[in-house]
Amino acid sequence: MIRPAPSLRRPLDRRSFLWRSGGGLGGIALASLLAEDGLLGGEVGGPARPRPEWNGGLHHPAKARRVVQLFMSGAASQCDTFDYKPALIKKNGEKFDPGRKVELFQSVPGSVMKSPWNWRPRGGCGKFVSDLVPHLGELVDEMAFLHAMVATSNVHGPATFMQNTGFVMPGFPSMGAWVSYGLGGESENLPAFVVLPDARGFAPNGPGNWSAGFLPATYQGTMVRPSAADPIHDLFPPADDPAANRDPSADRDGLALLNRLNSKHRDTHPGDSRLDARIASYELAARLQTSAPEVLAIAGESPATRALYGVDEPETADFGRNCLVARRLLERGVRFVQVWSGADNGFPRRNWDSHEDLKRDHGMMARGMDKPAAALLIDLKSRGLLDDTIVIWTTEFGRMPCGQGSLGRDHNPFAFTSWVAGGGFRGGVSYGSSDEWSFRAAENPTYCYDLHATALHLLGIDHKRLTYRHNGIDRRLTDVHGEVIRAIVA
Amino acid sequence: MRGFFVFLAAFASVVLSDPAVRGDEPARPSGSPKVAVAVDEALFRERVAPILESRCVRCHCSKAAKGGLTLDTAEGLARGGKGGPAVAPGKPGESLLLEMVAGESPEMPKSGKPLSRLEVASLRSWVEAGAHWPSGVSLRDRAKSAADWWAIKPLDRPKPPSVRDTSWSRTPIDRFVLARLEEKGLRPNPEADRRTLIRRLTFDFHGLPPTWDETQAFVADSRPDAYERLVERLLASPRYGERWGRFWLDIAHYGDTHGYDKDKRRDHAWPYRDYVIASFNDDLAYSRFVLEQVAGDVLWPNARRGQVATGFLAAGPWDFVGHAELREGTVDKLKARLIDRDDMLANTIATFNSLTVHCARCHDHKFDPIPQRDYYRLQAVFAGVDRGDRPCSPAVASNSATSATLPPWERAEVVYTVVSHAPRPIQLLYRGDVEQPREPSTPGALSCVPGIDADFVASADQVEGERRAALARWLASPRNALTWRSIANRVWQGHFGRGIVDTPSDFGRNGSAPTHPELLDWLAVELLENGQSLKSLHRVIVASAAYRQTSAADANRAAIDADNRLLWRMNRPRLDAEEIRDAVLAASGDLDDRMGGPGFDLFRFKDDHSPIYDFGDATVLDRPESRRRSVYRFNVRSVPNPFLECLDAADPNVSVPVRTSTITALQALAMLNDRFVLRASRSLAGKIESQFVDPSRRVDEACRRILGRAATPDEIRTLSAHTIKHGLADCCRILFNTSEFMFVD
């Protein structure tokens, strides 16, 4: 950690300093520095800083220290993956009549459509999982399934916002931003919140999905694209810019010169901690230039690990690399990593939005996702990281048990499946259920608020007390909702 | 016995005066002798009742007995709630009420800050003394009482206070500022030097640095009115509207795409942006500015500026899929429309009246006197408003020769603005849920604002536009004190970096109180009485000694007012995102000052089912039109410009009344490595190298252009050494990274 200049040690300056300083990673070291002095919580009232005696928890002891979220963009089907319904097989091709009005996004309800994939019991718990996700199927004993997830919108944009931020409108902080606001990061050299978008492009809403919203920009997700020419924007001069070829000594000399100019300026403007923060920000930037390439360098991973994630096979290469980089980030102290499977709603399909041909498009998406996601769980476990790492697999809503056209499925916000693993969750259990069709939540309807509240709970955070005053309201990730789902907490 | 009780009562007052004292004294026997009662009554009336009324009774009264508990009557207190009796008279340690409100993170009150230690101590003393409740007294909720709410009190020009030091003040503003400083034993800073002043004024009014020549001329100008002349020059320049228009566009959450999924281009939104810039430059009377943006198309049906101005209502994000692709009659369609109207009404009230009316969508406002009913009256105002492209009447010009000279926005044939429909029926929604409609709502505004009729029922059955016209007139009324305080505060904020109310879009109880309430009123009246001219208000503000002082810090005064809320020094702002980008362009000599028209793309665009905006393409960034001022960039909602975003540019998805200003390592990387800075550094170096041969003169010129001052001998030496080794472009790059460049002074 950077040793703060003497002027930073004055408490009155330092609080305002926190809110003005920080940033993707500059903020981390600075925020944790302030947290040591108990100033972080001063803004929201109450004791709100990570406590070592609580395993880093904010309001109570934490079971988990970090989170990786796998987001299936476009709406991954529950009734073709984890929500087994024999009725769909039995009544395949019959009129879909769940006994109430069916209001669909795009289409009129077609007939009942069984999954194109077979189902079989898996693991010690015997959970039925389809052959669409065989690798994940092997790991059901690690997972807690939420089968009665409900979304309040059946439109991709608002619903994707909701799963990320708890609100259907843009402008609210994502879960990763809230967690970095509450806990900061554990690395001095890396951001607290890192996002790995799908290599094919952005999901609906774009980077708005990992925005800091009204929280200081410090807490927004830092985008890392391992397969791009410039994986982190502006980490180095762009590869095609003449400056990319500049002598390394130019950077070294330039930073020394800058430090000299900025120090002199600071000395003639005493009492302004921001000027110290700027000097520190260049030191942190230099450290990131060293640490980030190291995280992205997966060449040194063993052949077995590379094979596990499928990084050398065409279909799994992109998502596999992202999952492997996610593990490396988590290992090195990044608090929250979000990995996206699925890009925009373009054609040919490059996300899970399989209106036209479920078998073709879900098949393609799952072949890319299933093996690497399973690899991540296996790898985290073998390294002893799964115990205190929460893994969340989610999507914005589900898909209808009836057909759209003859081969696709329309949106289903009334029931979908998410699963969680590691980090203090029970394994091999299910919470909530959908009706016999997988059409609507039947028992224990669950919202993103409950999932978020539970994940925060395991991180040692009371979701009702992680607040930020904005435009007259003490905002929370969980709005005015959210119940911790005790049944899936170990 | 009597003496014992007197002693106890006296002890209670000690407790009150020292909140740190905890009551551990023996429990009091039952019975209420007379002397103690008199003291207890005073304790109840003066200390306890105000706490209960402002913090407890709203949720614990006969109308809303949360947890079965009522605290508005003696009977309710005695009965207690589901958790048992609220108090055990004489036994604070066994009283649930105290347990709920005391401690490090108390359960109650559910909203707002915990009770202060003094308040808790008052309740404890009262319980200790027997929790006496005077007979016949019943309490009522005063949490939201409008009577004593500063923001809606009628405006009256306050008299500037008298001050001891009569030599410092230049304007009445200074007497308001100095009086508060003198109360605290603080003195203000002396006037800043000329170089600092011209840099401050030029950034404040133009968002650009002064040129070397401008600075030299002002420093040498010995005329007594040199300062006033400078202010007039700056106010007369069209750069002024570009700077202050940007502030307004932040608040209006103006963007050039829809946002959400399928973030399509809004290629006809820019006329509104230009209208805003032109209105500032033309010094449009503020009430006219308000009227035009809410109902210009209705109030001036034949003037094209009215049609363009309502782009304000259409400026925010819009869910294309929800509106264009969802079928009529579905629940999700109702939700999409509810959210869309919410965006319009919340932004209208927040912008012009600085209130958080959106808090009343699901229930009555928890802090301010805004019932849910008022919220749905506003929904009814916008019940027939959609957004979209609309043909615009051709420019009214005497002949074709003059129409060609009109600015682009007056010639635009299509504008993105409000599209009027027959009003849809609006009902109050229980808990904000479209599936739980209650009674029908008629159009209206906020009932808490005194002196203006907020019921627009007369316009309820009329065409859509009449509803907006009624709201526009309500907002623009000189009697709506919120409107005038709001804009006066925003103008002040633009100069001092922080408003007199530092929550400029929330004048409610959850917002901040004004640091100088009388000054705020004085400024609001000044604006109203000077033709509602914002430029006049600027003149008055920048003429003040408060504005002209240095920003130098001082440990002794900081110990009393670290945040500088009382303005003993000028604040020192970091340049905002657009200022940094524009100042880099200005310094490099590449700034293209063409005004208006469609925005320039800083990305490669690919239209698709979901359009793609790629900011990584070098060829796009280096196009000549991308050297225009940042206010003219095409602002994409879903994919922010990474360079400007990391420098804290406003997110067009939400109204941004105050820019945050962070300092991060990612900013350092952006300033060191971004294509834009690298290109500008090379461009500037090329110009200097073609002009000067002497290496010392070259680095001196780089300092003059980038920092606005000559290089010191030491700098000439170190910068020359760097330049010899790594080139002048790299030297310029480093200068763009200095704190001196990034801060106004």
| pLDDT of B62 | 78
| pLDDT of B57 | 84
| pLDDT of B146 | 61
Amino acid at A27: G
Q: Is A412 on the interface with B (CB under 8 A)?
A: no
Answer yes or no: is A143 within a domain: yes
Answer yes or no: is A376 within a domain: yes
CATH number reported for the structural domain that contains residue A446 in this entry? 3.40.720
Mean residue pLDDT across chain B: 89
Shortest CA distance from A106: residue in chain B:
B326
Which has the higher per-residue pLDDT, B459 or A118? A118
Could you report the per-residue pLDDT of B665-681, keeping only the tens digit for each? 999 999 999 999 999 99
Answer positive or negative: Cα dihedral of B472, B477, B481, B485. Answer: positive
Instruction: Tokens 């988990």: give the residue.
Output: A64
| pLDDT of B25 | 32
Answer yes or no: is A213 within a domain: yes
Q: Is B673 on the interface with A (CB under 8 A)?
A: yes
Mark B477-500 as b/e (b = at least 16 C-beta within 10 Å).
beebbbbbbbbbbbbbbbbbbbbb
Which has the higher per-residue pLDDT, A100 or A363? A363
| pLDDT of B710 | 97
Contact at CB, A471 and B358, closer than 8 angstroms: yes
A25 to chain B, closest Cα gap in Å: 6
| pLDDT of B461 | 63
Band of residue B453 on the pLDDT scale cut at 50, 70, 90: confident
Considering only the beta carbons, identify the residue of A156, A201, A241 that sits closest to B261: A156
Choose, out of B105, B115, B116, B260, the residue to mutate when testing the contact with A (most A CBs < 10 Å).
B260
Contact at CB, B321 and A213, closer than 8 angstroms: no
Contacts of B256 (CB under 8 A, 6+ apart): B265, B266, B267, B269, B270, B599, B634, B635, B636
| pLDDT of A401 | 98
Band of residue A34 on the pLDDT scale cut at 50, 70, 90: very low
Work out the widest C-alpha separation in chain A, in whole angstroms: 81
| pLDDT of B463 | 82
Contact at CB, B261 and A21, closer than 8 angstroms: no
Mean pLDDT score, B350-367? 92
* B42-46, B331-335, B341-345, B609-613: least confident range: B42-46
Mean pLDDT score, B354-360? 93
C-alpha–C-alpha distance, residues B715 and B503, integer Å: 42
> Is pLDDT of B18 > 80?
no
Answer yes or no: is A465 within a domain: no
Considering only the beta carbons, identify the residue of B359, B609, B653 that sits closest to A170: B653
Could you report the per-residue pLDDT of B120-141, keeping only the tens digit for each? 888 888 888 888 888 777 777 7
Q: Is B553 on the interface with A (CB under 8 A)?
A: yes
Contact at CB, B367 and A25, closer than 8 angstroms: no
In chain B, % of residues over pLDDT 70: 91
Answer yes or no: is A98 within a domain: yes
Q: How far is CA B663 from CA B639, B648, B667, in A?
A: 22, 9, 7
Work out the widest C-alpha separation in chain B, in whole angstroms: 101
Q: Measuring CA to CA, which residue among A28, A9, A13 is closest to residue A284?
A: A28
Could you report the per-residue pLDDT of B193-228, keeping only the tens digit for each? 999 999 999 999 999 999 999 999 999 999 999 999
| pLDDT of A188 | 85
C-alpha–C-alpha distance, residues B265 and B259, integer Å: 9
| pLDDT of B49 | 79
Contact at CB, A235 and B668, closer than 8 angstroms: no
Band of residue B745 on the pLDDT scale cut at 50, 70, 90: very high
Contact at CB, B259 and A158, closer than 8 angstroms: no
Chain A residues 34-93 with CB within 8 Å of chain B: 45-47, 59
C-alpha–C-alpha distance, residues B170 and B541, integer Å: 10
> Is pLDDT of B631 > 50?
yes
Pair A329, A190: CB distance under 8 Å: yes
Could you report the per-residue pLDDT of B40-97, keeping only the tens digit for each? 676 787 678 778 877 888 888 877 888 889 888 888 888 888 888 888 888 888 888 8
* Complex ipTM: 0.85
Q: Measuring CA to CA, which residue among A100, A81, A180 is closest to residue A419?
A: A81
Band of residue B38 on the pLDDT scale cut at 50, 70, 90: low
Contact at CB, B359 and A222, closer than 8 angstroms: no
Contact at CB, A12 and B718, closer than 8 angstroms: no
Chain A residues 88-107 with CB within 8 Å of chain B: 103, 105-106
> Is pLDDT of B472 > 80?
yes
Q: In total, how many domains does chain A have?
A: 1
Chain B residues 636-665 with CB within 8 Å of chain A: 637-640, 642-643, 645-646, 648, 651, 653-655, 660-665
Q: Is B111 on the interface with A (CB under 8 A)?
A: yes
Pair B640, B651: CB distance under 8 Å: yes
Residues belonging to chain A = 490
> Is pLDDT of A465 > 90?
yes
| Residue B635 with chain A: CB contacts under 8 Å | none
pTM: 0.84
Could you tell me how far CA B709 lies from the centroid of its own chain?
34
| Residue A269 with chain B: CB contacts under 8 Å | 552-553, 572
Where on the phi/psi map is residue A22: left (φ > 0), alpha (ψ -120 to 50), or beta?
left
Band of residue A22 on the pLDDT scale cut at 50, 70, 90: very low
Pair B159, B165: CB distance under 8 Å: no
C-alpha–C-alpha distance, residues A20 and B191, integer Å: 27
Per-residue tokens: B373: 């009913």
Burial of A46 (0-12, 13-18, 19+ CB in 10 A): middle
The 3-state secondary structure of B623-689, one letter per residue: CHHHHECHHHECCCCCCCCHHHHHCCCCCCCCCCCCCCCCCCHHHHHHHHHCHHHHHHHHHHHHHHH
Answer yes or no: is A297 within a domain: yes
Strand partners, B592: B628
Cβ neighbours of A266 (radius 10 Å): 19
| pLDDT of B32 | 37
Cβ neighbours of A248 (radius 10 Å): 7
C-alpha–C-alpha distance, residues A353 and A75, integer Å: 6
Pair B729, B685: CB distance under 8 Å: yes
> Is pLDDT of B8 > 50?
no
Considering only the beta carbons, identify the residue of A206, A238, A281 that sits closest to B663: A281
* A40-54, A117-131, A400-414, B593-607: least confident range: A40-54
Pair B187, B568: CB distance under 8 Å: yes
Answer yes or no: is A235 within a domain: yes
B551 to chain A, closest Cα gap in Å: 9
Range of the domain at A365: 64-239+287-454
Pair B491, B204: CB distance under 8 Å: no
| Residue B336 with chain A: CB contacts under 8 Å | 155
Q: Is B573 on the interface with A (CB under 8 A)?
A: no
Answer yes or no: is A82 within a domain: yes
Q: What is the DSSP letter of B711?
A: P
C-alpha–C-alpha distance, residues B556 and B244, integer Å: 35
Answer positive or negative: Cα dihedral of B19, B25, B26, B31. Answer: negative
Band of residue B705 on the pLDDT scale cut at 50, 70, 90: very high
Chain B residues 57-76 with CB within 8 Å of chain A: none
Q: How far apart are the first and last CA of chain B?
A: 71
Contacts of B628 (CB under 8 A, 6+ apart): B591, B592, B593, B594, B600
